[in-house]
Structures are given as C-alpha cells and as structure tokens.
C-alpha cells in the first residue's frame, strides 16, 4: 500500500517565477524557488561629512 502525502503551499510574493526548479528523487519532490532581484537587499553607499 502506497501512501501519498500532499502538502499544498503558496508561492511567496518575493519568489522569481522564472527560476523555479523541481526535482523528483527517491519519492520526494523538491521545489526550489529563488528570490526575485527586487526582493534582494541592495548596498547603498553613504558618505559622511
């Protein structure tokens, strides 16, 4: 008897929809979602006078 467990999830708002990767291995589905460029922190240079 095979049991299938399904855990639904929602895609995070800051995920990059064009870089979704999925791999099915040993009966496990692994989905990788990268953060979009706008969600990544930016370095801002600040000069002190």
In a domain, 2, yes or no: no
CB 22, CB 31: distance < 8 Å:
yes
In a domain, 19, yes or no: yes
The whole-number pLDDT of residue 1 equals 60
Q: How many domains does the chain have?
A: 1
Q: How far apart are CA 17 and CA 43, in angstroms?
A: 24
Residue-wise pLDDT for 26-47, tens only, equals 888 888 988 887 777 778 899 9
In a domain, 48, yes or no: no
In a domain, 6, yes or no: no
In a domain, 1, yes or no: no
In a domain, 28, yes or no: yes
Domain that holds residue 26: 12-37
- Taking the CA of residue 10 as centre, how many other CA atoms within 13 Å lie in the half-sphere pointing to its CB? 3
Q: What's the predicted TM-score (pTM) here? A: 0.54
């Amino acid at each position: 008897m095979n049991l299938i467990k399904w855990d639904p999830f929602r895609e995070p708002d800051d995920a990059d929809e064009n870089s979704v990767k999925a791999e099915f291995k040993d009966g496990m589905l692994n989905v990788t979602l990268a953060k979009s460029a706008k969600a990544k922190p930016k370095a801002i240079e600040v000069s002190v006078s």
